[in-house]
Chains A and B, each alone.
Chain A
Amino acid sequence: MTDAIFGRLGLSSLALWRAFENPDLSELIAAGAAMAVIVGGLVTVVLLTWFRLWGPLWRNWLTSVDHKRIGIMYCALALIMLARGVIEGALMRTQQAFGLHGGFLSPDHFSELFSTHGTIMIFFVAMPFIAGVINYVMPLQIGARDMAFPVMNQISLGLTATGAALVMISLVLGKFSTGGWANYPPYTGADFQPGPGPDYWIWSIVLAGIGTTLSGINFAVTIYKERAPGMHFLRMPIFCWTVICTSIIMIFALPPLTVAALMLAADRYLEFHFFTNDLGGNMMNYVNLFWLFGHPEVYLLVIPAYGMFSEVISTFSGKRIYGYMSMVYATMSIAVLSFCVWLHHFFTMGQSANINAAFGIASMAIAVPTGIKVYNWMATIFRGRVRMTVPMIYATGFFYLFVIGGLTGVMLANPVISYQVHNTLFLVAHFHNVIIPGVLFGLLAGYHYWFPKAFGFRLHEGWGRAAALLWIVGFSFTFLPLYWLGLQGMPRRSASFSDPSFQPMLWLALFGAALIVSALTCLAIQLWVSIRNRAQLAAPLGDPWNGRALEWSIPSPPPAYNFAMVPQVMARDDFAEAKADGRAYAEPEAYEDIEMPNNTAIGMIVCVFGTLLGLALVFWIWWLAVLSLAVMLLALIGRTFRLNVTHVIPAAQIAAEHRAWLAKVKAAPAVDRLEETHARNLGRAVLERPIGSEAAQ
């Protein structure tokens, strides 16, 4: 009877109960993590109630379809998950540092840690952070009022949050998979892991993956159809080009993941034989499907980060980007090549040498367009008016470290070398070496760069610099030693080892992990300090960095409708040209009414019932699964019966707001670049002729 109600959810599903029954250090750490989730959740609820914030949270955020607010929520989700991911990483470094003949974590707990760490960092840190920045910035850069499909955008966020929630809940109820972030069967099949672990992975990935596919469609359609008049494709900022490439990857590369995960679910729930060892199953199909997604995925992550670096480097060098066309071609080439190299993730799994050679060469070829980009960035800096602000520190770290990561990638693309170092820490060092300096540094640079646009005040410079340096140094200490260990033959994913010569490098890596934890702490302190000192850091006029693209031509934070008038784009880097020509900050002859989409609760309904659906499927609570699916379906169909889904902002209100802002801009002191980080910088830049602008030549 209880089975019908609770499925396979029992007292022993609780991490706290397991620690109570078997109180060793490993279980206590798991229980501590469960407590952290529970207490964190409770504290949030209490604080929201205490400060009476439920109403504003619901009205202004959770039901909002404004791409800017959705973008901010994505980034907040990513930062929360980043904290968990970093703590897990540090815990694994600690375990390995003390792992000679043992360590303090049980092998299963260690496996759970690297599985959740990978899943979280890719799907619930990097992806939502990327989606958040794209959501916020891209419509502003192309002069759009919102995404093409604002409600679908909210549903995408809801589904991503669902996936993240399931991974968080797995700390409290049941256990996560021990099969790594790639979750290979047959090890993750029902024969070897009958518990709820792989099911948590499957449903968090499937639900979040559907959200990401929808995001990709939204981004692509927005860029294809919602550009302002005059914003030709070849006038778009490089960041928007990277968004096109990323959305193409989202549209084409997420389906293989969904297919692979659902087939695995069929194997586990319905005894299908897609990937089993017996009765004609073929686990290589899973590996191919997964990496058919997995390799484009890493470019999905890094390409927008390239775009963010392009914006940052161009702005803080006071020059337009060098080699615009070659950047566009290089980005597109990388996106296309990313679909042609998936097999290099399993050179050792039995293909013929010729196939390995073909994929090896294709993988090495990616270094060419990537190299072009690096040279273009360096050429952009050359003779520029360079300011070493926080984003530029990240960019510098990126140059040095990412090139190392790229070169070890070319090494690994050689099947002969891959045979030697596959499944060792060399590989772990390599992919962290591209993802942290590439993706994460890019995102953090973008975070510092666009934060004043989103909130109207800059982030504190000192704490930001400390965090950036700690990230760079901490990364180097943590991951460069792993190359050495990998070459010495230390396997990845080992909870313990027996060769004492590994120990010194593991201690060095632990020291690096401590620096990374401090870097994250600095970021948290910086946010706190910046919010407290927001009056001194205010830059409400909108252009604190002498920016070049359209997002800097409007107030910070921008109004819900973004642009009082849809901009007429005349040039590449239009706002920089407008400032040089004196057509910036002009008052239009007439204002028009603007129609904007209404708030809706549909995204939250999908999020809440999606999470319930995931939990129900993980714990075999069938009635709840049917119920939550039915609620979601009815809500989605029900919504299509509503006709009045927009409201109109009257022209008079827009005119008043826009004129008030223009008056403030005219009255404010324009600051030059030496005062960029000074309290005087209210967001109006001295009009200076950008070096290398079309007009200057």
Chain B
Amino acid sequence: MSTSNIHPGLNLGARHGEAHVGAETIVFGFWIFLMSDLVIFGLVFASYLTVANPMGMAGGPGPAEAFDLRSIFAQTMILLTSSLTFGFSTLAMRHERGRAAIAGWLGVTLLLGLGFLTLELRDFAHMIDVGAVPQRSGFWSAFWGLVPLHGFHVAVGCLWIMVMLVQMALMGLVPVVKTRLLRLGLFWHFLDLIWVAIFSIVYLGGLMP
């Protein structure tokens, strides 16, 4: 690891001047926020696991009736790809490839994020159809407390990308916009990480025979 890194994660590098120096405090603070958010997800996961059993399902539908693994696989691929495209956007910023490259990759990420949400909402509609609603059992309450919480984070991330696209257009690549993009990147990759846990624990775990 290069010694010029002043905060964990991708650094803009000294040639970005104020944006790089300012990132030390503000990106560090955002990491701490993510830790706190991670605790929230950890607890919601733990609550889910305590009711992921026949008693928690209380005679209602189980995962097999409600989950559509093909759609989940598509969502996983879309979200993982969006992390890659966000990475390209951050690299374009770090290597000063211009606003168009950064905004272009951000736009692709946004589309993938919205695509993910569309598929997820379709899944939720299907679950409601088969009676897998939170009012049915403790198990579905925990599911609806966990997976939509992640979806809500993705929606916030999409809104944030839109705000950043507008700010890049209006304000240009001023230092504060750059550090915001760095933080948004951390947020987006963090959501990917949570999704990997959801995919493995909730979906694969739920459908395991």
Decide whether A and B assemble into one complex: yes
Report if B81 contacts A (CB, 8 A). no
Q: Is the interface of B mostly helix, strand, loop or mixed?
A: helix
Is A285's CB under 8 angstroms from B50's CB? yes
Segment of B8-16, B123-131, B168-176, B195-203 in the binding face: B168-176
Report if B121 contacts A (CB, 8 A). no
In angstroms, Cα B174 to Cα A438, docked, is 49
Q: Report B18 CB to chain A, min CB distance, Å.
A: 12
Report if A359 contacts B (CB, 8 A). no
Is B32's CB under 8 angstroms from A220's CB? yes
In angstroms, Cα B176 to Cα A640, docked, is 9
Report if B51 contacts A (CB, 8 A). yes
Is B167's CB under 8 angstroms from A641's CB? yes
Q: Is the interface of A mostly helix, strand, loop or mixed?
A: helix
Chain A interface size, as a band, is 35 or more
Is B32's CB under 8 angstroms from A282's CB? no
In angstroms, Cα B44 to Cα A266, docked, is 13
Is A273's CB under 8 angstroms from B50's CB? no
Is B163's CB under 8 angstroms from A640's CB? yes
Question: CB-CB contacts of A372-400 with B at 8 A, as 1s and 0s?
Answer: 00000000000000000000000000000
Task: Enumerate chain A residues within 8 angstroms of B47, measured Cβ to Cβ.
Answer: 259, 263, 274, 285, 289
Is A272's CB under 8 angstroms from B55's CB? no
Q: Report A451 CB to chain B, min CB distance, Å.
A: 31
Task: Enumerate chain B residues within 8 angstroms of A271, measured Cβ to Cβ.
Answer: 134-135
Report if A149 contacts B (CB, 8 A). yes
Report if B86 contacts A (CB, 8 A). no
Q: Report B90 CB to chain A, min CB distance, Å.
A: 19
Is A251's CB under 8 angstroms from B35's CB? yes
| Total A-B pairs, Cβ < 8 A | 108
Is A148's CB under 8 angstroms from B29's CB? yes
Is A280's CB under 8 angstroms from B58's CB? yes
- B135's contact among A216, A272, A285, A292, by CB below 8 Å, is which? A272
Task: Enumerate chain A residues within 8 angstroms of B154, measured Cβ to Cβ.
Answer: none
Is B51's CB under 8 angstroms from A280's CB? yes
Segment of A13-21, A221-229, A541-549 in the binding face: A221-229
Is A258's CB under 8 angstroms from B40's CB? yes
In angstroms, Cα B39 to Cα A282, docked, is 20
Query: A284: nearest residue on chain B (CB-CB)?
Result: B50
Is B57's CB under 8 angstroms from A280's CB? yes
Is A280's CB under 8 angstroms from B134's CB? no
Segment of B69-77, B138-146, B186-194 in the binding face: B138-146
Question: CB-CB contacts of A618-648 with B at 8 A, as 1s and 0s?
Answer: 0000000000000000000100110100000
- A221's contact among B32, B36, B50, by CB below 8 Å, is which? B32
Report if B97 contacts A (CB, 8 A). no
Question: CB-CB contacts of B45-64 with A at 8 A, as 1s and 0s?
Answer: 00100110001111010000
- Listed A/B pairs (23) with beta-carbon separation below 8 Å: A213-B36, A218-B29, A221-B25, A221-B28, A225-B24, A251-B35, A252-B36, A255-B40, A259-B40, A266-B134, A272-B141, A272-B145, A273-B136, A273-B137, A274-B142, A278-B58, A280-B56, A280-B57, A280-B141, A282-B56, A285-B51, A292-B43, A643-B174
| Sample of 13 further A-B pairs with CB below 8 A, known A255-B36, A271-B135, A640-B180 | A149-B29, A217-B29, A259-B40, A263-B47, A263-B145, A266-B145, A272-B141, A273-B58, A273-B140, A274-B47, A280-B141, A282-B56, A637-B163
User: Which residues on B are within 8 Å of A, measured CB to CB?
Assistant: 24-26, 28-29, 32-33, 35-37, 39-40, 43-44, 47, 50-51, 55-58, 60, 134-142, 144-145, 163, 167, 170-171, 174, 176, 180
